[in-house]
Amino acid sequence: MRLVHFHAFAVSASNWDEAPNIQGGRIQADTQIEALIAKNVQKAKFDNCLESVFETDDSRHNDMRELIRRHAFGDDNAADEAAKEISERLSVAMDNRSHPALLLIASEKDGPICQVSLWTFPRDEALRLINQKTASLQVLTDIFSQTSRLRKAAFFKGGQAKTEFLGGKILDLQSGGGPKAVADFWLADFLLSMPAIRPKAGTQMIAKALIQCAKETADLTEQQQLQSAAMSIRSGPKQKWSPKEVAENFFNADLAARFQSKFPNVATYNTSIEIDQDTYADSLNFAVYRLDSGVIVSSPFSEIGESVRITGTPEEGNRLSCEGRVVSQKVRSPNGVR
């Protein structure tokens, strides 16, 4: 790949009704710059990142897709204009919670194929020790961190056919881990994109994998791990889960391997999925019941309708019956502390 266009801008948040807060422009490529891009592309491991698609209208148009293609395939003037508009869009997409950042846009070419990578590195502070006659510390405020967990990246590759540059790979370590408005600014507000697996389809896949694993294991520990995963996905603050994250957070190695085998490929296993709670509840048929006596019954999803039976109507009040051999017992204080 040969670097054809490279732009850098310092970007801060701006309101839609004021001039975008950007400074920067085209950077002449040299071996150091090329090495910097290569290092960051390698470090990002885009193959394992979220797969995204541009949110198009009925005629395939998406403003960011057009700008990115113009940066990739256009001449210097077209790429300069596209880069400036991309940086302005980032400034508007950021809000006061976003850190000022360095935006890098790199287009590399190999024959008819181009790859475009966009990076934001948040502004950081560093200390420099100046040790001349007397030692002193200098505070550097105009530096940007390449290793921050707040850094974000997007990667697009393809030719000029209409079927290409429809989506890319996204690195966003904040995504899905916090309030939706902050987490989604990079993917939705700036890149005008969405995850390549629709929430409903992805949620069904996760729920189905949990159910299959539950049916295949008689091991109580694994059943508990599956229950913990099912409940956290349902009621935890995290809105997006990749199947891999589910496995890493809740399962032992054997169960994780079986869980992974339920997904068709590695890309799906690694893709972050926005959980559609209605679909999840419908698919999983998993519930924690609180009875009028104060008893709480937590049932593995595979047992509902089997050893755990719900009868009656919602109007009359459902009744729960459960029967089985006790294999372990735990004592907890009322607030849950053991």
Which residues are at the interface with another protein (CB under 8 A)?
Answer: 51, 53-56, 58-60, 112, 159, 161-164, 166-167, 194, 196-198, 200-201, 205, 263-268, 271
Nearer to another protein, 8 or 205 (CB): 205
In order, the DSSP letters of 187-219 are IIIIT-EEESS-HHHHHHHHHHHHHHHHHH---
CB distance 10 to 102 below 8 Å: yes
In the complex, least distance from residue 260 CB atom to another protein, rounded to whole angstroms: 12
For another protein, the closer of residues 54 and 144 by Cβ is 54
Nearest residue (CB) to another protein, 90 versus 209: 209
- Rounded to a whole number of angstroms, the minimum distance from the CB of residue 32 to another protein is 31
CA atoms within 13 A on the CB side of 333: 3
CB of 226 to another protein, least distance (A): 21
- The DSSP output letter for 302 is G
Q: Which lies closer to another protein via its Cβ, residue 21 or residue 270?
A: 270
Whose CA is closest to 115, among 6, 28, 29, 266? 6
Q: Which amino acid is at 112?
A: P
Q: Which is closer to another protein, CB of 199 or CB of 300?
A: 199
Closest CA to 95 of 13, 185, 186: 13
| CA–CA separation, 182 and 175 (whole Å) | 8
Given the complex with another protein, which of 265 and 313 has the nearer CB atom? 265
| 44 versus 103: smaller Cβ distance to another protein | 44
> How far from chain centre, in Å, is Cα 263?
18
Residue 213 CA to residue 203 CA, distance in Å, equals 15
Q: Shortest approach of another protein to residue 65 CB, angstroms?
A: 10
Rounded to a whole number of angstroms, the minimum distance from the CB of residue 99 to another protein is: 30
- Torsion, Cα of 203, 205, 206, 211 (10° steps): 120
Q: How far is the CB of 10 from another protein (least distance, A)?
A: 33
Minimum gap (Å) between residue 269 Cβ and another protein: 9
Handedness of CA 9, 40, 55, 177 (dihedral sign): negative
Which 3 state secondary structure label does DSSP give 282?
Answer: helix
